[in-house]
Structure 1
Amino acid sequence: MGVLRMGYAHVRVTDMAEAKEHYANTLGLYEVLEEDGRVYYKGWDEWDHHSVVLEEGGVGLVKFGFKVQYEDDIDDIEKKAQSFGCTVARMSEGENPEVSDGIRIFTPSEHVFEVYHSQTLIGTEVGTHNPESFPRHLVGVGVPAIDHALITAADVKGMERFLTHTFGFFATERVQTSFDVDADHIGTWMTSTNQIHQLAVIQGPQGKLHHFAFKLADWTEVGHAADLFSMDEVSIDIGPTRHGITRGQTVYFFDPSGNRNEVFAGGYAAYPDRPVSIWTPDKLAKGIFYHARELNDSFTSVLT
């Protein structure tokens, strides 16, 4: 099958104590390991060892990890990435705690993507034997799992070609300069599964992170998260609102270091044969913020 999902986001933070307060007590992630200046977290409905890594010293993205279904998928992706012109390095089991061997791809957008086939299985917080619907004692928002990320690149169309060629992704939604087939791409939302998007790319500086997101169930949970962000004095960028693009419900907010997070619910089921939804620049504000139909300055300018 190839890529199953985004397995982890590894980001830098300026103050680990503040970051731990945010990710553990406001978002409700479970700390599973702390060593060598890094803290590892998982959501309550994730079964692998970790999905978020915080590293003290700076701000912004270190790398993303993508999990594949079969060990042979790694060799296939390595060959495809090299044929696309990317530098690829092998990584050994244990370089990332509890993560198998794999490869490290230096992408055309100057991001680092790691591809691996297994993590230590530690199980969800409700188990698999007659499980309850959710843990009784959730903390804060109680996010169940990481969902997707948005990055920036100078050449969006080139990154779409890379993700299609190397990961087998397909576009679900796209922002283009026109409806013409050969129009320039301003943004692309891509996946390899029924998930509406695993990774989105918008035009901007090389190697930057716009946000990484956590999944929630519905509007009620999104609104509840916004209430908790207000209680904890989390800096909210926008929301609660709805996207036109993906139809998702959202709140964007910042961790104490300035990395943008999102809680995301809804969307629709993606299929490779579904026609791509195309948005043009004159409707971009409606595509991003469906209700207000207006972009705020920080949403387009603040990157880490």
Structure 2
Amino acid sequence: MSETAEPMYELAHLGHAELLTPVYEQSLEFFVEVYGMDLVQESGGSAYLRAWGDHDLTTLKLTASDRAGLGHVGWRTISPQALDRRVAALEARGVTGEWIDGDVGHGKAYSFRTPSGQRNEIYYETEKYQAAQGKKSYLPNQPQSSVTRGAAVSRIDHINVLARDIPAAREFMCQTLGFKLREHLIPPDQPEAGAWLSLMNKAHDLAITREPADTTGRLHHLAYAVENREDVLRAADVFCELGTFIEFGPAKHSRTQGFFLYVYEPGGNRIEVFAGGFHIFAPDWEPVTWTTEGQGRSTAWGLDVPASFHTHATPVLP
């Protein structure tokens, strides 16, 4: 048996993401009334929101900007010591980052850009959500009551960013931060088109897909999870009733096996409602290499992928 690198478990999970929007008030209304999140607070031109199943105080920062896109994405480490070790690994790799004091809901963080241009931060200290009396669940192991509004998303799940060089982008995330490659798509005689990576036992916390333009730092989508497939179908009805255009789905992904639904929030960022996805418990998981969709289908059950799914990203290019 050949010697392999020991898996690294220094990052725990996707902690939060910041989305930029040129129509702040409309985007905020969408995330609260349509997507079903709770507003924690507003300050400094940003809104801080949470889904009912998030254990941390906030997982989404929405910031007014002249254009849509990803402000940054935050990853929580498993300990203060792990945070220091990962910063050392980043700096040994030649990354020039900076420490920031923190933000609403979390303490000091190390901020840096990945080779694909997105701003990331890693941190450990976080503020746990404490439900007020009217928000408490009857179940003591739940952070909040599940009685909510709109699509009622339950927790932050994953993020998909774009990269010109996917192998270089994923190798950076794996070698410096401990992501594990679970699946990737390499069409015949073409560059790698997508990679799906996770930190612990999910099918993916991070997806990296091909950037079609000569640019960096763009966002494909941010996803929140719901409890089951039926909730994705219910979300489709909610979006239709409330006038939100559905770009893609409901359907099932071949990779990750997740049940999905994609829409655009008013600022233009693509947002997903996601359920399911397989789990990985084997420490010696071997990455699955896809050359095309299963049996030639565009998705697991054959729904065609709209052209916009391969061309639209934020910021939108001129």
2:74 matches 1:65: yes
SS in 1 for 2:107: coil
Q: In the TM superposition, what is the alpha-carbon distance from 1:281 to its structure 2 partner?
A: 4.2
Q: In the TM superposition, what is the alpha-carbon distance from 1:27 to its structure 2 partner?
A: 1.1
2:144 matches 1:139: no
2:249 matches 1:242: no
SS in 2 for 1:87: coil
Q: In the TM superposition, what is the alpha-carbon distance from 1:239 to its structure 2 partner?
A: 0.6
2:84 matches 1:75: yes
- State the partner residue of 2:108: 101
- State the partner residue of 2:196: 189
Q: In the TM superposition, what is the alpha-carbon distance from 1:265 to its structure 2 partner?
A: 0.6
**Contiguous gaps of at least 5 residues in structure 2:** 1-8
- Structure 1: which 4+ aligned runs deviate by more than 3 Å? 123-134, 281-286
SS in 2 for 1:227: helix
Residues 129 and 143 in structure 2, CA contact (< 8 A), matched pair in contact too: no
Q: TM-score w.r.t. structure 1 length?
A: 0.92
- State the partner residue of 2:216: 206
**Contiguous gaps of at least 5 residues in structure 1:** none
- State the partner residue of 1:252: 262
- State the partner residue of 1:229: 239
Q: In the TM superposition, what is the alpha-carbon distance from 1:253 to its structure 2 partner?
A: 0.6
Percent identical: 25
Residues 285 and 294 in structure 1, CA contact (< 8 A), matched pair in contact too: no
- Distance in 2 between the 1:140 and 1:252 partners? 15
Q: Cα deviations across residues 83-113 of structure 1 (Å, max 9, x unaligned)?
A: 2232221112x4x123111201211011111
- State the partner residue of 1:294: 304
Q: TM-score w.r.t. structure 2 length?
A: 0.88
The 5-angstrom pairing of residues 1-304 of structure 1 reads 1-57=9-65, 58-92=67-101, 94=102, 96-123=103-130, 125-126=135-136, 130=140, 135=145, 137-178=147-188, 184-204=191-211, 205-271=215-281, 272-281=283-292, 286=297, 289-304=299-314
Number of aligned positions between the proteins: 298
For residue 118 of structure 1, what is the amino acid of its counterpart? Answer: E
For residue 201 of structure 1, what is the amino acid of its counterpart? Answer: I
- Distance in 2 between the 1:38 and 1:88 partners? 23
Q: Quickly say closer, same or farther: Cα 1:134–1:71, change in 2 above 3 A.
A: closer
CA RMSD for the aligned pairs?
2.2
